[in-house]
Amino acid sequence: MSPSRPLRGLAGFLLVAGGVLVALRVLHVGVPLIFPGTRPGPFSVASLEEARGRLGFAPLVPAYRPATLGAGPPSLTVTLGPHPTFLAVWRGAHSLSLTQRRGGPAPSHPPTSQALGGVADSRWWREGPANHLVLRRGEFWVTVVTDLPARDLRRIADTLGPYSAGGPGPARAGLRAPPSG
C-alpha cells in the first residue's frame, strides 16, 4: 500500500461529505422558495386579503378606529407556526396593536388583571401608559395593547369582526375612517 492511498481515501470522504452538505443546504434554502407554505414567518403582508390567504382564516379587526391612530393603513404581519398568528399595528398620535392567534394556551396576564365589564371571556390591565386586553373569540386568542384611554377597550372589543373583502362590513369600514357618532 502506498502512502498516497490513505490520503486519497480521506480526500474522497471529504469530497463526498462536502457534496452532501452542499446538497442539504440547497434543499434547506430551496424548499421554502418552491413551497412557500413551509415557511413559518413572520411575513409582512400588504393587505388583509393577503393575510387571510396565508393564514386560512379571516383576521379580526376593530370597526372602531379613532382618528388619533392616524390616517394610514396598519402594518400587517403574519406568522404561520407554531400557531397561525395575525398582527396589525396602527400608529399615529396614539397606537393600537392587535394580535390574533389560533389555538394554543391563553396569553399570559398578571394576577391583578380583571374582567372587562360587559365583555365575555376577557381580561384587562394597565401597565405603564399602555392598556392591555386579552379576549377569547371562538378558537382565537386576541390581544390588544394600546395607549388609547381605557374606556376605548370595550368599544374595540365590541366592534371586533372578521375582515370581509366582499362587503362594507364593520371591519372593512374600520380600516378606512373612524365611525360617525
pLDDT at 155: 93
Q: 99 with 143: CB under 8 angstroms?
A: yes
At which residue does the C-alpha cell 390591565 appear? 125
pLDDT at 109 over 60: yes
Cβ count near 33 (within 10 Å): 9
- On whether the pTM is more than 0.85, the answer is no
As a three-state string, the secondary structure of 20-48 is HHHHHHHHHHHHHHHCHHHCCCCEEECCH
Tell me the CATH number for domain 43-174: 3.30.200.100
Tell me the pLDDT band of 9, cut-offs 50, 70 and 90: confident
In the prediction, which pLDDT does 180 show? 35
Question: 150: closest CA among 110, 114, 99, 107?
Answer: 114
| pLDDT tens-place string over residues 132-171 | 999 999 999 999 999 999 999 999 999 988 876 554 344 4
Q: Report the candidate in 93, 102, 88 with the shortest Cα–Cα distance to residue 144.
A: 88
Is the per-residue pLDDT at 174 higher than 80?
Answer: no
Convert the pLDDT of each residue in 28-83 to its tens digit: 887 777 776 666 778 899 999 999 998 989 999 998 989 999 988 899 999 988 89
Residue 38 confidence (pLDDT): 67
Q: Is the pLDDT of residue 20 over 50?
A: yes
